[in-house]
């Protein structure tokens, strides 16, 4: 069954020790769509992203109130296996972070850990399929055994996307995935995001407003830990309803 919202955040409050980082967030992430989270530095958008696959668990002072429902099940309930959760909700980071292994091994790593194949031939197929999906296969097919670190930044980032999708996640979280890339590499990643939307629900944090406008169907604007406004991306960038959104996206305050 396909739900309208893959992820539903309900009354979410996040604290780092005494400091509250998110206040009463309510936001649905539509299935097979890309949601962009925008807002000034420190607004809480990355914190929210990291709540969606419990990346904040590794921060000892962090605790939350409220719920994050993935397919209507709270990912913060005690019965949830966090490792399994993170295979369902994958993540791509700001700086490409390939493992210091071969291109092949980077993509094969997840399937190996989760035993997603029986034979070497099957693994080869998984690696190729995901490199193709990430739009990288043609560029690397003759040097799969070379170290991933020899690839360009843009190629490394697409490799990280291939690695993230190789374990068949349902949601991909992206934290500023293009901020270290040149415009051509950025365009390739954006095109990839658009293609990946057929199979995955995507959440992207970006400081690049034009990028949010280009890649997302829904945009949510955050300020001071609060969700100010969320809506269809075309509407939000032409007729924002809140003065603060208007001020931020038109470049009127920092």
Contacts to another protein by CB under 8 A: 209-210, 213, 237-240, 245-247, 249-254
Is 102 or 245 the residue whose CB approaches another protein more closely? 245
CB of 251 to another protein, least distance (A): 5
Is 57 or 232 the residue whose CB approaches another protein more closely? 232
Q: Which residues contact 251 (CB under 8 A, 6 or more apart)?
A: none
CA dihedral over 17, 20, 24, 25, signed as positive or negative: negative
Is 79 or 210 the residue whose CB approaches another protein more closely? 210
> Would you say 37 and 222 are in contact if contact means Cβ atoms under 8 Å apart?
yes
Cα distances (angstroms) measured from residue 85 to each of 75, 147, 172: 7, 29, 12
CB of 245 to another protein, least distance (A): 8
CB of 195 to another protein, least distance (A): 24
Q: Where are the alpha helices (DSSP H) in 53-152?
A: 82-88, 103-113, 120-133, 137-140
CB of 250 to another protein, least distance (A): 5
Is 60 or 210 the residue whose CB approaches another protein more closely? 210
Is 73 or 252 the residue whose CB approaches another protein more closely? 252
The rounded radius of gyration (Å) of the Cα atoms in the chain is 18
CB of 202 to another protein, least distance (A): 22
CA dihedral over 19, 94, 53, 222, signed as positive or negative: positive
SS3 227: strand
As a whole number of angstroms, the distance between CA 116 and CA 119 comes to 10
CB of 3 to another protein, least distance (A): 31
> Would you say 49 and 173 are in contact if contact means Cβ atoms under 8 Å apart?
yes
Is 17 or 42 the residue whose CB approaches another protein more closely? 42
């Amino acid at each position: 069954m396909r739900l309208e919202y893959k992820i539903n955040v309900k009354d979410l409050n996040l604290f780092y020790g005494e400091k509250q980082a998110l206040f009463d967030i309510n936001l649905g992430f539509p299935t097979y769509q890309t949601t962009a989270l925008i807002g000034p530095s420190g607004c809480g958008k990355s914190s929210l992203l990291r709540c969606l696959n419990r990346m904040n668990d590794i921060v000892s002072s962090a605790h939350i109130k409220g719920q994050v429902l993935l397919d209507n099940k709270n990912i913060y309930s005690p019965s949830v296996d966090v490792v399994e959760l993170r295979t369902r909700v994958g993540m791509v980071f700001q700086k490409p972070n390939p493992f210091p292994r071969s291109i092949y091994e980077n993509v094969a790593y997840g399937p190996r850990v989760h035993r997603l194949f029986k034979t070497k031939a099957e693994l080869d197929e998984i690696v190729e399929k995901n490199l193709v999906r990430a739009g990288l296969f043609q560029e690397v097919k003759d040097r799969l055994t070379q170290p991933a670190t020899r690839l360009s930044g843009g190629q490394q980032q697409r490799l990280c996307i291939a690695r993230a999708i190789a374990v068949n996640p349902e949601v991909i979280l992206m934290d500023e995935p293009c901020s270290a890339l040149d415009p051509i590499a950025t365009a390739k990643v954006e095109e990839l995001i658009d293609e990946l939307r057929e199979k995955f629900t995507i959440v992207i944090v970006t400081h690049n407003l034009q990028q949010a406008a280009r890649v997302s169907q829904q945009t949510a604007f955050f300020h001071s830990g609060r969700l100010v406004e969320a809506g269809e991306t075309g509407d939000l960038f032409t007729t924002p309803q809140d003065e603060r959104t208007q001020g931020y996206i038109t470049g009127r305050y920092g």
